[in-house]
Amino acid sequence: MGRLILVTGGARSGKSDFALHIAEELPGPRCFIATCPLVDSEMEERIARHRLERAAGEWITVEEQVNIAVVLQEHCTDPVCLVDCLTLWVNNLLYHAEKAKKIFSDTELRQQCDGLLQALALHQGTVICVTNEVGMGIVPDNPSARLYRDLVGRCNRMLAAAANEVYLISCGIPLRVK
């Protein structure tokens, strides 16, 4: 396994900017794995802005909402891969399970994370994963939101345990946790 870096923090805390900075300090080429689904015009504009931010940095962009382990395996010799973000990945897994009328629980999430960790173990370069810290707010008032929060928390813990480095970003300031 190469090097795994997990970058977490609140919404708009500067996680993605920090992750991009780390990635662009490393020799390329670089693979950006985008998990965000295109759901409306505002999101389309946001995605376009993010693409422009990466335009000069030797980036290959792969848009994949669910099968990020497969993409990482396909890019296992790339010097740098950046996954942005695991929070949306968990959202997408839940959405696709609901759409298929399947239950997506902690057991299924663990299986997905185990598959991701196996792909990460095969990667020869640096992989940076961005995720939101969702456990610092109030307890959500409905079962779906609590399940989502719990699943993201589980994913974050599993990736943090395997990571070489973990950073918490607050107000744009990185704090190395591990």
Active site residues: 50
138 residue type, one letter: I
Lookup: tokens for 173: 């300031």
Q: How far is Cα of residue 149 from the mean position of the Cα atoms in its chain?
A: 15
Distances (CA, A) of 51 to 44, 104, 118, 119, 146: 11, 31, 28, 25, 32
**Separation CA 106–CA 27 (nearest Å):** 37
**Separation CA 111–CA 50 (nearest Å):** 30
> Residue 59's beta-bridge partner residues?
30
Q: How far is Cα of residue 16 from the mean position of the Cα atoms in its chain?
A: 10
> Residue 126's beta-bridge partner residues?
3, 80
